[in-house]
Amino acid sequence: MKVLVTVKEVATVEDTFEIEGTAIPERYLEYDLNEWDDYAIEEAVQLAEAHDDVEVVSVTIGPPRVEETIRIALAKGVDRAIRIWDDELADYQLLDVPAKANILAEVVAQEDPDIVFTGVQADDDAFGATGVALAATSDYQWAAVVNQFELEDDGTVSVHRELEGGIEELTEVQLPAVFTIQTGINEPRYASLRGIRMAQQKEIAEVTLADLGLDIDAIDGALEVTSMAEPETESEVTLFEGDASSTASQLVDLFDDLGVIDA
Amino acid sequence: MSDILIVTEHRRGEIRPVSYELIGCGADLASKTGGDLHVAVISGEVDEMAAAFNRDGVDVIHTVADGDEFNHDIYRQAIAHLVEDVDPRFVITPQSVNGMDYAPAVATDMGVPLVTDAVGISLDGEQLTVTREMYGSKVETTVAVAGERAVITIRAGEWPPIESGGSAEIEVVDIDIDESAIGSTVTGFAEMAAGDVDISEADILVSIGRGIDEEENLDIVHELANTLGATVSASRPIVDAGWLPKNRQVGQSGKTVSPDVYIAIGISGAVQHVAGMKGAKTIIAINNDSNAPIFDIADYGIVDDLFDVVPALTEALA
Ligand SMILES: Cc1cc2nc3c(=O)[nH]c(=O)nc-3n(C[C@H](O)[C@H](O)[C@H](O)COP(=O)(O)OP(=O)(O)OC[C@H]3O[C@@H](n4cnc5c(N)ncnc54)[C@H](O)[C@@H]3O)c2cc1C
């Protein structure tokens, strides 16, 4: 059995930052493994540990910088990795969902996995749609926002989908299928020292769009960022200032005014 | 090709309120394109629901009776059929957990752009522009969408619901569902365990987020709650980590709360969290990042390290 995990490196912005034009300059960005993908990796690795002959392959779209993040996935137990990049991709500020799905679908076609795990969403652009778009493009079955996953003996999968308001939907899905993984489904491991050492020996295959039989037109982005700003707030927040003991006593006065304590 | 198709949502016999917001959003767009607003009602008690969706601005309501509960394969086939019939310019769905389960497939089938989690939509001549948030709501971006058509999913709570009655035409749609294309089956539902307390009953909630950093640090939060006679709740990462049980989680996939006082400590204010607590009477935020979105909805705030403020507050109350 083969499991493919999509792994994205996401940008987070520092507490104080500026926007220049339609982007945040590099100096305010930090890069990290996408939180949801950490759970997707763990789900794949646990599946490989519980069954014989499961190969776990990760796929990432990203520039050379992202290798560091891919090594984390390898250190956690992914067997080998694929990194897709093309200088032409660097021209796109925002890769839209169909573009990503079209690229990843070529990898699905080449690797022919039984199961694909993606995160529910990426922390930065938060489309929350690539996994399902990939399934539809690859003619796979799917389930979105999965917080419990069980591979049954008959080769089907039973999942819980986490709906709103504490309700979960119980669903059976035929394979091959894509599952978008929700945080909390498992406890992602930390990479062990041994894992980190072993990750150095593992393969990260570098793949271009041409290698996948795609040209840039095939993924031509439909979305263009035309402006970026800090949200205008209608906030009427009253900020308490001073050192902690001073703000604390202002809060106590507030509690008194609100009638929640008798001071 | 100037019509708008919206896809409503229901669960276990109840209409999800976002459906009425979709009508508001769809009616607004239809007035700009000069087209009709079509409403899709798929699975369940469709006649009853169609009557409820007969609201101002709606031109045609299409009912597809196949299936009881949401199943993405039935939705996908039903919407493909309606798209063929109606030839809509825009298909709009909620960015709900179920919306996330079918909208991307609809966009793939139609071969059109997909923009999710919209908080604003504008149409200037032929140019569609969508406003959405990025980087955990810290920035708002507008994206221009190429081409004529698109599938758009909208965030709940951003468009006013339409309450007043309308004069729509109701069309019963018969489609031949291709059973062989149904690859998943919903077998039931589970509800989160009630647990030890019901946080939605609490008058004061001391709510803790990822800013607490380590499980053992939770002690200072419990001490504050004890001193204040408050109940402890949390954002999702605290529950994901297993530091507090699921029944303490506030937000979209946890509980909706409306206490007199909600004290958000080390919580950034992600949209899925805010969905569960924006109804609190007084919101107080303690966060060391003055840009954290929680301050946009807070009534009172302290921009400081929680490890200084929380113990000081407990001491000041004692
Ligand atoms: C489908 C779906 C459903 C979801 N459902 C929910 C839900 O029900 N409930 C929910 O909460 N989330 C939910 N989420 C997750 C949500 O998107 C956020 O990831 C989550 O709310 C973030 O939690 P947080 O604010 O505690 O953490 P973060 O966003 O990491 O914020 C931590 C905050 O702590 C502050 N901080 C750090 N250190 C300190 C310090 N020493 N002193 C003061 N402040 C500090 C930081 O400035 C930051 O603002 C859902 C997501 C999805 C996709």
Q: Where are the domains of chain B?
A: 4-181, 199-317
Distance CA A179, CA A141 (A): 9
The mean of the pLDDT values for chain B is 96
The mean of the pLDDT values for chain A is 95
Distance CA A66, CA A60 (A): 8
Q: What is the rounded average pLDDT of the residues A214-240?
A: 87
Q: What is the rounded average pLDDT of the residues B222-249?
A: 97
Contact B147 A226 (CB under 8 A): no
- For residues B238 and B264, the answer to whether their CB atoms sit within 8 Å is no
Ligand 1 contact, B19 CB (< 6 A): no
Contact A130 B104 (CB under 8 A): yes
CA distance A253 to chain B (A): 10
Q: What is the rounded average pLDDT of the residues B158-166?
A: 93
For a mutational test of ligand 1's pocket, the pick from B252, B283, B295, i.e. the residue with the most ligand atoms closer than 8 A to its C-beta, is B252
What pLDDT, on the 0 to 100 scale, is given for residue A235? 78
Ligand 1 contact, B287 CB (< 6 A): yes
Q: For A60-71, write each residue's pLDDT tens digit.
A: 999 999 999 999
- Tell me which chain A residues have a C-beta less than 8 angstroms from the C-beta of B104: 97, 101, 129-133, 136
Same fold, B4-181 and B199-317: yes
B71: pLDDT strictly greater than 90? yes
- For residues A105 and A112, the answer to whether their CB atoms sit within 8 Å is no
Q: For B243-287, write each residue's pLDDT tens digit.
A: 999 999 999 999 999 999 999 999 999 999 999 999 999 999 999
What pLDDT, on the 0 to 100 scale, is given for residue A231? 85
B291 bridge partner residues:
none
CA distance B140 to chain A (A): 5
CA dihedral angle for residue B195, residue B200, residue B206, residue B207, rounded to 10 degrees: 80
Which band of pLDDT confidence, cut at 50, 70 and 90, is reported for residue A90? Answer: confident
B157 by Cβ neighbours in 10 Å (0-12 / 13-18 / 19+) ranks as middle
Tokens for B26, please give them: 């769809």
- Tell me which chain A residues have a C-beta less than 8 angstroms from the C-beta of B149: none
What pLDDT, on the 0 to 100 scale, is given for residue B103? 98
Give B119 Cα–ligand 1 centroid separation in angstroms: 20
- Tell me which chain A residues have a C-beta less than 8 angstroms from the C-beta of B285: 237
Q: What is the rounded average pLDDT of the residues A44-51?
A: 97
Contact A230 B291 (CB under 8 A): yes
B272 by Cβ neighbours in 10 Å (0-12 / 13-18 / 19+) ranks as middle
Pick B300's closest partner by Cβ from A98, A163, A237: A237
Query: What ipTM describes this predicted complex?
Result: 0.96
A64 by Cβ neighbours in 10 Å (0-12 / 13-18 / 19+) ranks as exposed
Nearest one of A37, A31, A35 to A11, comparing CA atoms: A31
Residue A133's identity, in one-letter code, is: A
What pLDDT, on the 0 to 100 scale, is given for residue B195? 81
What pLDDT, on the 0 to 100 scale, is given for residue B150? 97
A234: pLDDT strictly greater than 80? no
Q: What is the rounded average pLDDT of the residues A182-200?
A: 96
What pLDDT, on the 0 to 100 scale, is given for residue A263? 57
Q: Which residue of B has its CA nearest to A251?
A: B313
Give A148 Cα–ligand 1 centroid separation in angstroms: 21
A220: pLDDT strictly greater than 80? no
Q: What is the rounded average pLDDT of the residues A76-91?
A: 94
**Which residues are CB-neighbours of B125 under 8 A, at least 6 positions away?**
none
Q: For B32-61, write each residue's pLDDT tens digit.
A: 999 999 999 999 999 999 999 999 999 999
Third-level CATH fold of B4-181: Rossmann fold (3.40.50)
- Tell me which chain A residues have a C-beta less than 8 angstroms from the C-beta of B247: 166
Alpha helices in B146-206 (DSSP H): none
Q: What is the rounded average pLDDT of the residues A34-44?
A: 98
CATH class of segment(s) B199-317: alpha beta
Residue % of chain B over a pLDDT of 90: 95
What pLDDT, on the 0 to 100 scale, is given for residue B311? 98
Pick A240's closest partner by Cβ from B132, B150, B302: B302
Helices (H) and strands (E) in chain B, counts: 9, 18
What pLDDT, on the 0 to 100 scale, is given for residue A217? 80
Give B273 Cα–ligand 1 centroid separation in angstroms: 7
Distance CA B116, CA A126 (A): 8
Pairing of strands B150-154, B120-124: unpaired
A233: pLDDT strictly greater than 80? no
